[in-house]
Structure 1
Amino acid sequence: MPPIRVLFVCAKNQWRSPTAAAIYQNDARLTVRSAGLSPQSRCVVSAKLLAWADLVMVMENRHAARLRERFRAEMELPEIVSLDIPDDFPFMDATLIDLLRSAVEIQLDDWLAS
């Protein structure tokens, strides 16, 4: 089975989504990228990134809603799931890593089981 292409998305691509990408970058099950919804993001979500992804993992439900609102008319979106990770932690914070690992593994188990 080829690796699952996962796009991690948060608001500014500053803390949460880059942390998720960093901790999963060497996972053989995945190929990962990260992006943000804000125009000031380090890497801004684009139709090209969404087309690349098999699965989009957003940090909050509002991120999923914004993706659907922004891109639904121009393309068929990949599956989008929310990890429910609050914007309370800096990049690579130990608690953030624990929360991400737990939430991502649940979503990956569901994805691989389907």
Structure 2
Amino acid sequence: MANLLFICSKNQWRSPTAELLFKDHPEHKAYSAGTSDKARTRVNQKMIDRADVVFVMERKHKELLKQRFEIGNKPLIVLDIEDEYQFNDPELVKILQVVLSDYI
């Protein structure tokens, strides 16, 4: 079972929506967090260490993670999803399903 970590800014809309797509998934366990001090769940080194693959919504999240944490050689994938969706927005779900099709 692969551990997938989804990162956005405040862990309110995009990353929790991605995490929800993997609820009860037979092959993957998903977690989500944010980079902001105001994040619902703030990313930490333990989360990074536990993840097999880290997905970030924007390039700025990748840069923040690389500055703040030891990523090692694990995959760090930028999804290029702008912060313009609400939690579980049907359009966001469709985008995530397409970009994560190799995992879902």
Name the structure where helix makes up a greater proportion of residues.
1
Deviation at 1:105, TM superposition (A): 1.6
**Correspondence 1:87-106 to 2 at 5 A:** 87-106=83-102
Cα distance in 1 for partners of 2:51, 2:83 equals: 23
How many residues align structurally?
104
Write the letter of the residue equivalent to 1:29: E
1:55 aligns with 2:53: yes
Give me the TM-score of the superposition, normalised by structure 2: 0.92
The percent identity for this pair of structures is: 36
Which string of whole-angstrom CA distances, capped at 9 and with x for unpartnered residues, describes residues 5-26 of structure 1? 0000001100000000011122
Aligned position for 1:112: none
Write the letter of the residue equivalent to 2:54: V
Cα distance in 2 for partners of 1:65, 1:46 equals: 15
Q: 1:4 touches 1:29 (CA, 8 Å); kept in 2?
A: yes
Structure 2 unmatched runs, 5+:
none
1:33 aligns with 2:37: no
The higher radius of gyration belongs to: 1
Write the letter of the residue equivalent to 1:58: V
- Shift in alpha-carbon separation, 1:68–1:77, aligned structure 2, 3 A: farther
Residue number among 42, 64, 67 corresponding to 1:66 in the alignment: 64
SS at 1:100's partner residue?
helix
Deviation at 1:77, TM superposition (A): 5.7
Structure 1 unmatched runs, 5+:
110-114
Which string of whole-angstrom CA distances, capped at 9 and with x for unpartnered residues, describes residues 70-104 of structure 1? 113xx636321011111111000000000011111
Query: Which runs of 4 or more aligned residues in structure 1 lie more than 4 Å from their structure 2 counterparts after TM superposition?
Result: none
Aligned position for 1:46: 44
| Aligned alpha-carbon RMSD (Å) | 1.5
Q: 1:51 touches 1:78 (CA, 8 Å); kept in 2?
A: no
